[in-house]
Amino acid sequence: MKHTYQISGMTCNGCRSDVEKRLHAVPGVKEAMVTLENEQAVVLMDTFIAADIFQKALPKKYSVTEKENVFKSSAFDKTAPLKSKLAQLKPLFLILGYISIATILLHYQRENWNGAMLDFMGLFFIVFSFFKMLDVQGFSKSFGMYDPLARIIPVYGWIYPFIETALGFMFLMRFEVDIALIATLVILGITTIGVSQTLLNKKSIPCACLGTALKLPMTEATFIENVLMIVMGIFMLF
């Protein structure tokens, strides 16, 4: 998708080149084309990137504003109705619902439901990692926009889907469960910190929990989803 931004503060072609280079380095940007005459930047991106993210990537002498809002009346618009956000989150709710139903069907005749938690966590990681695997590069860029560790170490965003897949198999096969539980608490704890900061700062960025195949907005549902897994991990560990 393309989005146009107004860039003020450029005085020469050197400024234009510097701004273009810095915008292109922002995670999620495929191409940035800056023109000095009309002080505009046309950015080709994987998913929508708010103007304040570009502002942080530029020196203070430049000012970035959105020239046109292609996300008007979408789930990324802060004035969008609640129904729009719920509609955007429908795939997430459906996936969690199917994972829950599968877990219940596997364990409804068993007395010990501790295994059900492990199977739920295993299926959760396997299914969610599948969607991330569809576009690892796109996921890593979106993930780096809010995960603190992926922002510092970009390669972490690339290997994260493989970590989830490994954890999923470990839970389902009951292999080194304690190690898998500790790893779950660590990686989801880090992500939850980033999600919390994004929500508190009211940034409008996409959620990468289902990769780039399904466009989901970053909402409280993402926070609840992570906290649920963390609570289950703590319960099973202790």
Check residues 193 and 30 and name the one with the higher pLDDT. Answer: 193
The per-residue pLDDT for 80 is: 43
CATH topology for 2-66 is: Alpha-Beta Plaits (3.30.70)
- Arithmetic mean of pLDDT over the chain: 85
Q: What is the pLDDT of residue 118?
A: 94
Q: Assign 171 a pLDDT band (cuts: 50, 70, 90).
A: very high
Quick one: pLDDT at residue 85? 66
Q: Output the pLDDT for position 95.
A: 92
What pLDDT sits at residue 50? 82
**Residue spans per domain, the chain:** 2-66, 82-237
DSSP run (H or E) holding 205? none
Contact 95, 127 (CB under 8 A): yes
pLDDT at 225: 87
Q: Which residue has the higher pLDDT, 162 or 218?
A: 162
Residue 81 is predicted with a pLDDT of 46
Query: CA-CA distance, 28 to 155, in Å (whole number)?
Result: 14
Asked whether the beta carbons of 33 and 41 are under 8 A apart, the reply is yes
Task: Check pLDDT > 70 for residue 72.
Answer: no
Higher pLDDT, 138 or 169: 169
More confident residue, 83 or 214: 214
Kindly tell me if the per-residue pLDDT of 186 is higher than 70.
Answer: yes
Radius of gyration of the chain (CA): 20
Closest residue by Cα to residue 113 from 237, 236, 221, 238: 236
Give tens-digit pLDDT for 81-120. 444 667 778 888 899 999 999 999 998 888 777 889 999 9
User: Over the stretch 117-137, which tens digit does the pLDDT of each residue have?
Assistant: 999 999 999 999 999 999 898
Instruction: Please tell me the predicted confidence (pLDDT) of residue 28.
Output: 84
Residue 141 has pLDDT above 80, yes or no: yes
Residue 84, pLDDT score: 62
Helices (H), 48-153: 51-57, 82-88, 90-107, 114-133, 136-143, 148-152
Return the pLDDT at 183: 96
Residue 214 has pLDDT above 80, yes or no: no
pLDDT of residue 204: 67
Nearest CA to 87 among 219, 201, 236, 231?
219
**With 90 as the cut, is the pLDDT of residue 32 above it?**
no
